[in-house]
Every structure is written in structure tokens, then in C-alpha cells.
Amino acid sequence: MKINIIKGDITKIKVDIIVNAANTSLLGGGGVDGAIHKRGGKAILDECIKIRNKQGGCKTGEAVITTAGLLHAKHVIHTVGPVWNDGYNEEEKYLEHCYRNSMKLARAQKATSITFPNISTGIYRFPKYKAAKIAIHTVKNHPYVTEVLFLCYDEENYRIYKDILNENKRT
């Protein structure tokens, strides 16, 4: 598997699957969620509303899939990261589920490339180093999806991912 890191804006990437850090309502919000809905257009929200009407939103750690609308991708996978409280509310387990369930959905689509934002590390305040460790560990060696791109928006996350991947290369 190829794991790459880029610093930039996830809405500008050309890839099979773009993952969104959504909330349980699936109705959009700020951060990367806001950017994806804004650039992807109304088709994404329309499908989110349909899913919401059918199953009542999306639980923390779970993931759903929609069209990518106007984005340069085949689909958007919306996953809901945990809000970080004190670390004693199974936040790490839920974050791992986000990455695992997104990879599962991507595999079901026979997608070969997927790009993740740094789920939960913005508005939801998950510690960045811990989150990056979980992200890399969970996606590694997943069958079928051969290319994973971690899209870091801020410099701190970018450096953390670079350090962890370099560390992994050495060991």
C-alpha cells in the first residue's frame, strides 16, 4: 500500500474517494465538512438528507457514502469522529472505527484510492499526535485500497504525519 501525505485542501484533490469529517446530523457544518458541501454542491446534501430520512443520521464511528457532486472524486464517505473530552470516553476506539468503516465502504466500491482529512482534530479537539497514530495504524495493509492519502490542512498535522511515517520506515 502507498501512503502519502499532502498539505492542502481536500476539495481540490482528484481521487476515487474523499472522506468527510461530518457530524451525526449529516447536514453539514464548519471545517472540512463545510468546505466539502460548499464545493461539492447540493447533490451531496440531497443524498445526505435521503440517508438521514432512512436511518436517522450517522452515529459516531460509523460512515455513509454519497455522490461526490462537483468534486473530482467518485464518492464522498461521511464519517463522524468522536468529540474529545478527556480520553476516557472511548474516543480512541471511535476514531479507529471511523477509519476502518471508511476503508470498508471504499472497498465495497472497489475503490483503489482514498483521501482522509485529519478527522476529529479540528472542532472536535482530538489530540493530533494520537489521532495520526490511530489513522495510520488502522489503514495500513488494508486489502484492495492501495493508495491512501492523508490530506493535512494545518502545518502541525502535516509535520506529525511526516514524523510518524519516517519513524515507521526506520523500524
Residues with a catalytic annotation lie at 33
Residues 51 and 164: their CA atoms lie apart, in Å, by: 36
| HEC-encoded secondary structure of 125-159 | CCCHHHHHHHHHHHHCCCCCCCEEEEEECCHHHHH
Closest CB to ligand AR6 among 29 and 143? Answer: 29
Shortest Å, Cβ 171 to ligand AR6: 26
Backbone φ/ψ region at 30: left (φ over 0), alpha (ψ -120 to 50), beta:
beta
Provide the strand spans (E) within the chain. 2-7, 17-22, 63-67, 75-80, 113-116, 147-152
Torsion angles phi and psi, residue 79, rounded to 5: -125, 150
Closest CB to ligand AR6 among 36 and 141? Answer: 36
Residues within the interface to ligand AR6 (CB under 6 A): 9-11, 21-23, 29-33, 35, 81, 117-124, 151, 153-154, 157
Closest CB to ligand AR6 among 93 and 110? Answer: 93
Closest CB to ligand AR6 among 11 and 101? Answer: 11
Shortest Å, Cβ 20 to ligand AR6: 8
Shortest Å, Cβ 126 to ligand AR6: 7
Torsion angles phi and psi, residue 128, rounded to 5: -65, -40
Residues 92 and 108: their CA atoms lie apart, in Å, by: 25
**Exposed/middle/buried for 98, CB within 10 Å: 0-12, 13-18, 19+?**
buried
Shortest Å, Cβ 3 to ligand AR6: 17
